[in-house]
């Protein structure tokens, strides 16, 4: 157990009560749903963004976190994996493996130089990302799929 690390859970969901119970007595803070300046403050005061979902189809919050200069930790399943660059803007762990998730957090917490570089990469990567560019990439993927299906 690392008492020098604090987990901040932003949001709500069906497992919130269970999470609060499981983490009772540990350095964990539950903010509830945050929006606007409060949400921006939560990003700004964090060091790492962890999004362990294996079912989310896109993961806007992964983009928001990187735009805020946060390295992300995501799973190898679902859409959020597509919104980061492994080992440059964050880490990818096996879905459903809480030990891998903990190891990734501890690794970044114990690697300040790597954490700093990933922070810079995350922010820089999001500065270059635009809705137009994303649309054109998606359009190209659909076009390639259609051409492959017609062949």
- For the segment 61-92, what is each residue's pLDDT rounded down to a tens digit? 999 999 999 999 999 998 899 899 999 999 99
**Is residue 111 assigned to a domain?**
yes
Q: What is the pLDDT of residue 132?
A: 73
**Is residue 34 assigned to a domain?**
no
**Is residue 38 assigned to a domain?**
no
**How many domains in the chain?**
1
**Is residue 80 assigned to a domain?**
yes
CATH code for the domain in which residue 118 is found: 3.40.50.2000
Q: What is the pLDDT of residue 151?
A: 64
Q: What is the pLDDT of residue 59?
A: 87
**Is residue 106 assigned to a domain?**
yes
- The pLDDT tens digits of the residues spanning 88-104 come to 999 999 999 999 999 99
**Is residue 29 assigned to a domain?**
no
Q: What is the pLDDT of residue 115?
A: 97
**Is residue 26 assigned to a domain?**
no
What is the extent of the structural domain holding 78? 46-150
Angle at 33 between CA 74 and CA 92, to 5 degrees: 5
| 47 exposure class (CB count in 10 Å sphere: 0-12, 13-18, 19+) | middle
**Is residue 16 assigned to a domain?**
no
Ranges of the chain whose pLDDT falls below 70: 1, 131, 133-135, 137, 151
C-alpha span between 70 and 44 (Å, rounded) = 8
């Amino acid at each position: 157990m690392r008492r020098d690390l604090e987990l901040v859970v932003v949001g709500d969901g069906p497992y919130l009560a269970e999470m609060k119970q499981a983490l009772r007595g540990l350095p964990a803070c539950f903010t509830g749903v945050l929006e606007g300046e409060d949400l921006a403050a939560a990003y700004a005061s964090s060091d790492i963004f962890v999004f362990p979902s294996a079912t989310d189809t896109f993961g806007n919050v992964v983009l928001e976190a990187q735009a805020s200069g946060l390295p992300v930790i995501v799973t190898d399943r679902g859409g959020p994996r597509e919104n980061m660059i492994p080992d440059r803007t964050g880490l990818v762990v096996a879905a459903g493996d809480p030990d891998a998730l903990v190891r990734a957090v501890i690794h970044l917490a114990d690697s300040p130089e790597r954490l700093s570089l990933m922070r810079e990469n995350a922010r820089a990567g999001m500065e270059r990302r635009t809705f137009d560019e994303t649309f054109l990439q998606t359009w190209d993927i659909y076009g390639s799929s259609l051409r492959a299906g017609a062949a």
